[in-house]
Structures are given as C-alpha cells and as structure tokens.
Amino acid sequence: MKNETVLKANHIMKSFLLPDSFQVLKNISFEVKSGEFLCLTGKSGSGKSTLLYVLSTMDTAYQGELYLKGELLTGRTLNQLAAFRNEHIGFVFQFHYLLPEFSVLDNIMLPALKLNKFSRQEIEEKAYRQLTLLGMQEQALKSAGRLSGGQQQRVAIARALINDPAIIMGDEPTGNLDSKNTAIVFDIFKELSQSNGQTIIAVTHDNDFAKKSDRVIEMNDGQILF
C-alpha cells in the first residue's frame, strides 16, 4: 500500500462564469502517495477549497483529468461518483454537519449502512471501536446535537473513517476548534496516515497545523506555488 499513487491530478482547470468570468484553477497537476498527510494552504480566494472539492469528486465542472486509486473519475455519472465517494473517500468539514436527529452511533454508521457491505452488527461494533479510539464511547447513544464542538468533530472523523477510505479529505477540519481540540484532530490524522497508510488531504489556514504535516501545497491565484 505504502507509496502508491492514490491521487493524480492532470492539468485541472476550472473557471467561474458568474458573476464575472474568472479562472480559479489554472492548469494544476500533482500526485499524492498513499499514507501522505498533505495540507493545502493559501490565501482566501487562492482556489485551495475549490481544488479540494474538485478532488473530492463532488464538483464535476472542471477540465483536466482526475485519477483516484488509479481510476479515471472525470466524466463519470453523479451516481457512480457518489458510490465511489461512499467507499473510498471520507469527509471532515469545518462545521461538523452531523445529522442532529440521529444518535452519535447512527451518524457514524450511516455511510457504512449505505455501502451495505457488512451486517448491521459488524458495522455497529466497528463504530464502537472508532468511538473508543477517539475516546468518545460514552457518548455513543447521545443525540448528535448535544455534543460540544470538539466532540462533534471527533464524531465527524469517526464517520469519515467507518468505511476505511483510502483518502480522507478535510475542509478546514480544525477551523472551528480551540488549540487543544486542534491538537487532538492533528494527532488522529497523523496516526491514520502513519499506521493505516490512509491519505489525508486537508485545506487549512492554520500554518502551525500545516507545518507539522508531511507535505504542504501552497496555492496562489489558482496555481501551485510550491
């Protein structure tokens, strides 16, 4: 697994037509290996978030080619992409976006139930293991809306991990957390990339967070600086 190319971006270009014609990504090409902890940084409007959403397969309005796990994803249907995301990509957002009507456990289990590869029993056990790993096992049956911000973000990470995705993508995953919780999230990510060989791609404003990661891609004006 280690050091295989997990993600390959080939001449990715993207323009917004509204309100004004504006090229937000200019010919971006790079590769990411498995087990890498990559941070995308740059000023606001540099295109780092836009790039992340293109890489995440959710944004399909771009030119160029995107390979994930060796598969060309450009040009696939929305449903095929959804199925691919479900199995291979985990998401952590700045705002945790848990489903408030569901319990913590149910929130974590949802992507696995959608994948429908394992029995409910197995999924539940796995969700409990994730929670225990993140030190949240006591909150399992609580409603997701009743947790603190840091706890919710850990639940969101557990949810992102439930299907053992090859890539975990984070859009400002610590943007809403204090320094203590930021450190916890960083450690979790570090651990995942080092022990499990999972690739982490995170957009962040936090320079300290970025510095500690394996690799930083800084963007400016829709281009990669270094």
Partner 1 sequence: MPAVNYKIAFVHLTFKIKQTMVAMLGVVFGISMYVFMNSFMAGINDLQTTLAFANTAHIRVYNDQPPDHTNIAERALKGYPVVLVRDSRVIKYTEGIKSPAPIISWLLNQPEVAGVEPQVNSSVFFRNGGNKVNGNLCGIDVENENKLFKIARFMTEGRWNDLKFRPEGIIMGSILAEALSVHIGDNVNLLTNDGISKNYKVVGIFETGERDIDKTKAYVNINAARQLQGKNQDYVTDLQVNIQHYKETGPLISRLAPVIPFKVESWQEANEGMLSASKLRDIIAMAVSLTILMVAGFGIFNIMNITINEKIKEIAILKAMGFSGGDVTVIFLFQALVIGLSGGLLGLLFGYTVCLLVGLIPFKLDGKEHLPFTYHFADFYSAFLFGLVITLFAGYLPARKASKIDPVTIIRG
Q: Could you list the residues that contact partner 1 (CB under 8 A)?
A: 49, 53, 56, 58-59, 78-79, 82-87, 89, 91, 93, 97, 99, 101-102, 106, 110-111, 113-116, 159, 171
Q: Give the Å distances, CA to CA, from 213 to 191, 201, 202, 210.
A: 11, 10, 10, 5
Backbone angles phi, psi at 97, to 5 degrees: 50, 50
Q: Pick the closer one to partner 1 by CB: 44 or 195.
A: 44
Q: Pick the closer one to partner 1 by CB: 82 or 225.
A: 82
DSSP H helices, the chain, are 48-55, 78-88, 104-115, 120-133, 149-161, 179-195, 207-212
For the CB of residue 33, give the shortest distance to partner 1 in the complex, in Å: 24
CA angle 14, 17, 22 (to 5 degrees): 60
For the CB of residue 194, give the shortest distance to partner 1 in the complex, in Å: 25
Measuring CA to CA, which residue among 73, 98, 104 is closest to residue 87? 73
For the CB of residue 40, give the shortest distance to partner 1 in the complex, in Å: 14
Q: Pick the closer one to partner 1 by CB: 175 or 183.
A: 175
Q: Pick the closer one to partner 1 by CB: 117 or 211.
A: 117
Q: Could you tell me if 117 and 145 are in contact, meaning their C-beta atoms sit under 8 angstroms apart? A: no
For the CB of residue 94, give the shortest distance to partner 1 in the complex, in Å: 9
Q: Pick the closer one to partner 1 by CB: 18 or 195.
A: 18
Q: How many Å apart are CA 113 and CA 190, to the nearest integer?
A: 27
For the CB of residue 84, give the shortest distance to partner 1 in the complex, in Å: 8
